[in-house]
Structure 1
Amino acid sequence: MPIDRSYIRVKAMLVAPNADGTKHLVSVNGKTDENAEGFHRLIGGSVELGETHREAVIREVDEELGARIVDLTFLGMVENIFRLNGELGHEVVALYRGTLDPAPGPEGGTLTESDGSVVPVVWRPLDDTELAVPLYPAAANEWIHGVGAGV
């Protein structure tokens, strides 16, 4: 079922660094009209009616990865206005930091989306200046680089 992007969505996403703090976990998404190389996205998803954003990120990580979050810390809110295959989208995203238990191995793994599709996850370098694949939400980059600096 296609996602209705005609309204602003509320999301909760996790910056999940690896054990040595050099990388963080992201989902790998295929090419779009805007990104021929595809894109990476933070782990997480939509906040459901009656659910806090904290509860949402915990639920999403459990549903998608079968993992729990250790040392969950709220970082802040970012706004994400974007186009996906030409269609306008708008999200307000609560960002969290925390480590995963269990964490995927060094090669990454997969996550299962709510529609049952399986998506690869990989460890993206915190210093991603050399990567051509963009990260979304883009406004999260300042927080992600702060995570590498111990924020």
Structure 2
Amino acid sequence: MPVDRSYIRVKAMLVIPHADGSRHLVSVNAPTVENPSGYHRLIGGSVELGETHREAIVREVDEELGARIVGLKHLGMVENIFRFDGEVGHEIVAVYSGTLDPAPAEEGGTLTESDGSVVPVVWRPFEDADLTVPLYPAGATGWIHSSTE
């Protein structure tokens, strides 16, 4: 089912640092017109009517990864205006940090989206200037780096 991008969506996403402090967990997403090699995205999703963004990130991580967040910390908010297959999208994203229990796999991990699709997850280096696969939401970069401080 296509996503309705005719309104501003509210999201909650989590920076999940690896125990070694050099990388964080992201989902691997299929190619788009704008990103023919695909893209990475922070873990999380939409805030549902009647829930806070904090409640949303706890729910999303439980649903997608079957995990509990340890040390949940709100880092800040990001406004993300983007194009997805030529269509404009707009979202306000609450960015959090925390670790997971159980800890994600070193390799071969996946998450399950609300539509039942299974998406790979990988550990993306914090120092990612040499990567060609972009990370979204793009405006979260400063918060991502501050999550390890």
- Common fold by TM > 0.5: yes
Structure 1 residues 102-113: aligned runs within 5 Å = 102-113=102-113
Query: CA, structure 1 residues 111+12, in 2 after alignment: closer, same or farther (shift >3 Å)?
Result: same
TM-score, L = length of structure 2: 0.98
Which runs of 4 or more aligned residues in structure 1 lie more than 4 Å from their structure 2 counterparts after TM superposition?
Answer: none
Instruction: Report the counterpart of residue 141 of structure 1 in structure 2.
Output: 141
Aligned residue in 1 for 2:59: 59
Residue type at the aligned position of 1:60 = E
CA distance in 2, matches of 1:146, 1:49: 29
Task: Give me the whole-angstrom Cα distance separating, in 1, the residues matched to 2:147 and 2:94.
Answer: 15
Q: Output the CA distance in 1 between the equivalents of 2:106 and 2:69.
A: 18
Partner of 2:16: 16
Query: Any stretches of 5+ residues in structure 2 without a counterpart?
Result: none
Structure 1 gaps, min length 5: none
Equivalent residue pairs, number? 149
Amino acid at match of 2:138: A
Partners of 1:128 and 1:15 in 2: how far apart? 14
Determine the C-alpha separation between the residues in 2 that align with 1:105 and 1:10. Answer: 29
CA contact (8 A) 1:108 1:123 kept: no
Would you say the 8 A contact 2:75–2:147 is kept in 1? Answer: no
Q: How far apart in 2 are the matches of 1:108 and 1:79?
A: 31
Structure 1 distance, partners of 2:19, 2:145, is 16
How far did 1:147 drift? 2.2
Please give the alpha-carbon distance, in whole angstroms, between the structure 1 residues aligned to 2:88 and 2:49: 23
Q: What is the deviation of 1:108? A: 4.5
Matching residue's letter, 1:129:
A
Counterpart Cα distance in 2 of 1:16 and 1:137: 15
Change (3 A) 1:74 1:49: same
Partner residue in 2 for 1:129: 129
Output the aligned Cα RMSD.
0.7
Contact 1:13 1:57 in 2 (8 A): yes
Query: What residue number does 2:97 align with?
Result: 97
2:41: which partner in 1? 41
Question: What is the deviation of 1:36?
Answer: 1.1
Whole-Å separation in 1 of the counterparts to 2:103 and 2:38:
24
The CA distance in 2 between the partners of 1:139 and 1:38, in whole Å, is 18
TM-score, scaled to structure 1 = 0.97
